[in-house]
Amino acid sequence: MRPFAILAALVAAFVTLPAVAQTTAAAAPVAPPAITDKSNIWVLDLSTGGRVEILLRPDVAPKMVERVKTLTRQHFYDGLVFHRVIDGFMAQGGDPRGDGTGGSQLPDLPAEFNSLPHVRGAVAAARAEKEDSANSQFYIVFQPRFQLDRKYTVFGRVLTGMPYVDAIERGEPPANPSRVIHAYIASDNPPAYAPPPPAITAPATLPTLAGTTPKKAKPPVRASTRPR
Protein backbone atom coordinates (compact mmCIF):
# COMPACT_ATOMS: atom_id res chain seq x y z
CA MET A 1 0.00 0.00 0.00
CA ARG A 2 1.32 3.46 -0.91
CA PRO A 3 2.29 5.81 1.99
CA PHE A 4 -0.44 8.26 0.98
CA ALA A 5 -3.09 5.54 1.14
CA ILE A 6 -1.85 4.41 4.56
CA LEU A 7 -1.98 7.99 5.88
CA ALA A 8 -5.50 8.47 4.52
CA ALA A 9 -6.66 5.29 6.20
CA LEU A 10 -5.22 6.39 9.57
CA VAL A 11 -6.84 9.80 9.29
CA ALA A 12 -10.21 8.25 8.44
CA ALA A 13 -9.99 5.91 11.42
CA PHE A 14 -9.08 8.79 13.74
CA VAL A 15 -11.94 10.95 12.48
CA THR A 16 -14.46 8.20 13.15
CA LEU A 17 -13.49 7.83 16.81
CA PRO A 18 -15.58 10.76 18.09
CA ALA A 19 -18.58 9.44 16.19
CA VAL A 20 -18.22 6.10 17.94
CA ALA A 21 -17.99 7.85 21.30
CA GLN A 22 -21.10 9.85 20.51
CA THR A 23 -23.13 6.69 19.98
CA THR A 24 -23.38 6.42 23.76
CA ALA A 25 -26.42 8.63 24.04
CA ALA A 26 -27.35 10.50 27.19
CA ALA A 27 -29.91 8.86 29.41
CA ALA A 28 -33.43 9.51 28.28
CA PRO A 29 -35.36 11.99 30.45
CA VAL A 30 -37.60 10.45 33.08
CA ALA A 31 -41.29 10.94 32.42
CA PRO A 32 -43.39 12.61 35.15
CA PRO A 33 -45.63 10.23 37.09
CA ALA A 34 -49.29 9.92 36.22
CA ILE A 35 -51.73 11.57 38.59
CA THR A 36 -53.10 8.06 39.26
CA ASP A 37 -49.69 6.73 40.35
CA LYS A 38 -50.32 6.11 44.05
CA SER A 39 -46.64 5.42 44.72
CA ASN A 40 -46.02 9.12 44.04
CA ILE A 41 -48.97 10.68 45.84
CA TRP A 42 -48.19 12.18 49.23
CA VAL A 43 -51.21 12.29 51.53
CA LEU A 44 -51.39 14.87 54.34
CA ASP A 45 -54.29 14.73 56.77
CA LEU A 46 -54.50 18.23 58.22
CA SER A 47 -56.04 19.51 61.41
CA THR A 48 -57.86 22.10 59.28
CA GLY A 49 -60.50 19.52 58.43
CA GLY A 50 -59.46 17.26 55.58
CA ARG A 51 -57.02 15.43 53.38
CA VAL A 52 -54.55 16.94 50.94
CA GLU A 53 -53.11 14.87 48.10
CA ILE A 54 -49.84 15.97 46.52
CA LEU A 55 -48.35 14.58 43.32
CA LEU A 56 -44.64 14.03 43.92
CA ARG A 57 -42.18 14.59 41.06
CA PRO A 58 -39.30 12.11 41.20
CA ASP A 59 -38.56 12.94 37.57
CA VAL A 60 -37.11 16.34 38.58
CA ALA A 61 -36.34 15.98 42.31
CA PRO A 62 -35.65 12.28 42.98
CA LYS A 63 -33.62 12.78 46.16
CA MET A 64 -36.16 15.04 47.85
CA VAL A 65 -39.04 12.78 46.85
CA GLU A 66 -37.24 9.75 48.25
CA ARG A 67 -36.56 11.68 51.47
CA VAL A 68 -40.24 12.58 51.85
CA LYS A 69 -41.27 8.97 51.29
CA THR A 70 -38.72 7.70 53.81
CA LEU A 71 -39.71 10.17 56.53
CA THR A 72 -43.41 9.65 55.88
CA ARG A 73 -43.09 5.91 56.35
CA GLN A 74 -41.17 6.56 59.57
CA HIS A 75 -44.18 8.69 60.76
CA PHE A 76 -41.80 11.65 61.06
CA TYR A 77 -44.37 14.20 59.88
CA ASP A 78 -47.22 12.99 62.09
CA GLY A 79 -48.17 15.75 64.53
CA LEU A 80 -45.79 18.41 63.20
CA VAL A 81 -47.07 21.99 62.99
CA PHE A 82 -46.98 24.60 60.25
CA HIS A 83 -44.68 26.99 62.08
CA ARG A 84 -44.42 29.79 59.50
CA VAL A 85 -47.49 30.74 57.48
CA ILE A 86 -47.60 33.98 55.48
CA ASP A 87 -50.90 35.04 53.96
CA GLY A 88 -50.69 35.32 50.18
CA PHE A 89 -47.40 33.42 50.13
CA MET A 90 -46.96 29.97 51.69
CA ALA A 91 -47.35 27.59 54.66
CA GLN A 92 -44.13 26.02 55.95
CA GLY A 93 -43.88 22.86 58.07
CA GLY A 94 -41.88 19.69 58.56
CA ASP A 95 -39.75 20.90 61.48
CA PRO A 96 -39.77 18.68 64.61
CA ARG A 97 -38.68 21.68 66.70
CA GLY A 98 -41.57 23.77 65.43
CA ASP A 99 -39.51 26.94 65.06
CA GLY A 100 -37.83 26.60 61.67
CA THR A 101 -34.41 25.49 62.93
CA GLY A 102 -34.82 21.71 62.93
CA GLY A 103 -34.82 18.75 60.59
CA SER A 104 -34.55 14.99 60.52
CA GLN A 105 -31.53 12.97 61.61
CA LEU A 106 -30.79 12.15 57.98
CA PRO A 107 -28.14 14.18 56.12
CA ASP A 108 -29.01 17.31 54.18
CA LEU A 109 -29.71 16.91 50.48
CA PRO A 110 -28.08 18.51 47.44
CA ALA A 111 -30.11 21.14 45.63
CA GLU A 112 -32.35 19.84 42.86
CA PHE A 113 -33.43 23.14 41.35
CA ASN A 114 -35.60 22.57 38.31
CA SER A 115 -38.08 24.19 35.92
CA LEU A 116 -41.22 23.60 38.02
CA PRO A 117 -42.67 27.04 38.89
CA HIS A 118 -43.82 28.38 42.23
CA VAL A 119 -47.50 28.44 41.29
CA ARG A 120 -50.46 28.01 43.61
CA GLY A 121 -50.29 24.57 45.19
CA ALA A 122 -46.60 24.01 44.42
CA VAL A 123 -44.72 22.11 47.14
CA ALA A 124 -41.03 22.82 47.64
CA ALA A 125 -38.20 22.08 50.05
CA ALA A 126 -37.28 24.79 52.55
CA ARG A 127 -33.58 25.32 53.08
CA ALA A 128 -31.08 27.51 54.91
CA GLU A 129 -28.77 29.99 53.18
CA LYS A 130 -26.61 27.14 51.88
CA GLU A 131 -28.21 25.72 48.75
CA ASP A 132 -27.45 22.10 49.65
CA SER A 133 -29.32 22.21 52.96
CA ALA A 134 -32.81 20.84 52.27
CA ASN A 135 -33.75 18.13 54.77
CA SER A 136 -37.30 17.60 56.00
CA GLN A 137 -38.96 21.02 55.90
CA PHE A 138 -41.32 21.90 53.08
CA TYR A 139 -43.71 24.67 52.10
CA ILE A 140 -46.94 24.83 50.11
CA VAL A 141 -47.51 27.94 47.99
CA PHE A 142 -50.76 29.91 48.37
CA GLN A 143 -50.16 32.34 45.51
CA PRO A 144 -47.51 32.42 42.73
CA ARG A 145 -44.04 33.55 43.76
CA PHE A 146 -42.00 33.16 40.58
CA GLN A 147 -38.93 34.95 41.93
CA LEU A 148 -38.18 31.75 43.87
CA ASP A 149 -38.04 29.61 40.73
CA ARG A 150 -34.75 27.69 40.34
CA LYS A 151 -33.68 28.83 43.82
CA TYR A 152 -35.60 26.19 45.78
CA THR A 153 -36.37 22.56 44.99
CA VAL A 154 -39.98 22.21 43.86
CA PHE A 155 -40.86 18.53 44.25
CA GLY A 156 -44.65 18.33 43.95
CA ARG A 157 -47.99 20.04 43.58
CA VAL A 158 -51.34 19.74 45.33
CA LEU A 159 -53.85 17.61 43.43
CA THR A 160 -56.79 17.79 45.83
CA GLY A 161 -57.57 19.43 49.16
CA MET A 162 -56.21 22.93 48.55
CA PRO A 163 -59.04 24.48 50.64
CA TYR A 164 -57.57 22.68 53.67
CA VAL A 165 -54.20 24.26 52.88
CA ASP A 166 -55.86 27.68 52.57
CA ALA A 167 -57.33 27.18 56.05
CA ILE A 168 -53.93 26.75 57.74
CA GLU A 169 -53.54 29.24 60.60
CA ARG A 170 -51.40 32.26 59.71
CA GLY A 171 -48.52 33.57 61.77
CA GLU A 172 -44.75 33.51 62.31
CA PRO A 173 -45.36 31.48 64.43
CA PRO A 174 -49.15 31.11 64.50
CA ALA A 175 -50.81 31.53 67.89
CA ASN A 176 -52.71 28.28 67.38
CA PRO A 177 -50.76 26.43 64.68
CA SER A 178 -52.38 23.96 62.33
CA ARG A 179 -50.69 20.59 62.05
CA VAL A 180 -50.27 17.44 60.03
CA ILE A 181 -52.30 14.79 61.82
CA HIS A 182 -50.89 11.96 59.70
CA ALA A 183 -48.85 11.70 56.51
CA TYR A 184 -49.01 8.73 54.15
CA ILE A 185 -47.96 7.52 50.72
CA ALA A 186 -51.16 6.63 48.87
CA SER A 187 -49.85 3.24 47.72
CA ASP A 188 -49.58 2.20 51.40
CA ASN A 189 -53.40 2.14 51.58
CA PRO A 190 -53.95 4.79 54.27
CA PRO A 191 -57.16 4.74 56.30
CA ALA A 192 -59.88 7.29 55.72
CA TYR A 193 -59.38 10.78 57.11
CA ALA A 194 -60.23 11.07 60.79
CA PRO A 195 -60.49 14.47 62.50
CA PRO A 196 -58.13 15.15 65.40
CA PRO A 197 -59.36 14.62 68.94
CA PRO A 198 -60.57 17.74 70.76
CA ALA A 199 -57.79 19.80 72.28
CA ILE A 200 -57.37 19.63 76.04
CA THR A 201 -57.69 23.07 77.59
CA ALA A 202 -54.89 23.79 80.03
CA PRO A 203 -55.70 25.50 83.35
CA ALA A 204 -55.38 29.26 83.36
CA THR A 205 -52.65 29.18 86.03
CA LEU A 206 -50.30 26.45 87.12
CA PRO A 207 -49.33 25.93 90.75
CA THR A 208 -45.75 26.79 91.65
CA LEU A 209 -43.61 25.51 94.47
CA ALA A 210 -43.34 27.76 97.49
CA GLY A 211 -40.41 30.12 97.32
CA THR A 212 -39.86 29.71 93.57
CA THR A 213 -40.54 32.03 90.66
CA PRO A 214 -41.77 30.61 87.36
CA LYS A 215 -39.20 30.99 84.61
CA LYS A 216 -40.09 33.22 81.70
CA ALA A 217 -40.35 31.30 78.45
CA LYS A 218 -37.66 32.12 75.88
CA PRO A 219 -38.74 33.23 72.41
CA PRO A 220 -38.34 30.64 69.68
CA VAL A 221 -35.08 30.67 67.77
CA ARG A 222 -35.44 31.18 64.03
CA ALA A 223 -33.32 29.96 61.19
CA SER A 224 -31.52 32.82 59.47
CA THR A 225 -33.04 32.34 56.02
CA ARG A 226 -36.29 31.03 54.64
CA PRO A 227 -38.16 31.50 51.36
CA ARG A 228 -39.41 35.05 51.07
Q: pLDDT averaged over the chain?
A: 85
pLDDT band per the 50, 70, 90 thresholds, residue 28: confident
Q: Which domains are present in the chain?
A: 39-187 (2.40.100.10)
The whole model's pTM is what?
0.78
Residues 207-223: tens digit of each pLDDT: 444 444 444 444 433 35
The number of CA neighbours under 13 Å toward the Cβ of 78 is 10
| Model confidence at 128: pLDDT above 60 | yes
End-to-end CA distance of the chain: 73
Question: What element of type H or E holds 108?
Answer: none
CA–CA separation, 42 and 148 (whole Å): 23
Query: How confident is the model at residue 2, as a pLDDT?
Result: 58
Residues 34-49: tens digit of each pLDDT: 999 999 999 999 999 9
Alpha helices in 23-105 (DSSP H): 62-73
| Model confidence at 8: pLDDT above 60 | no
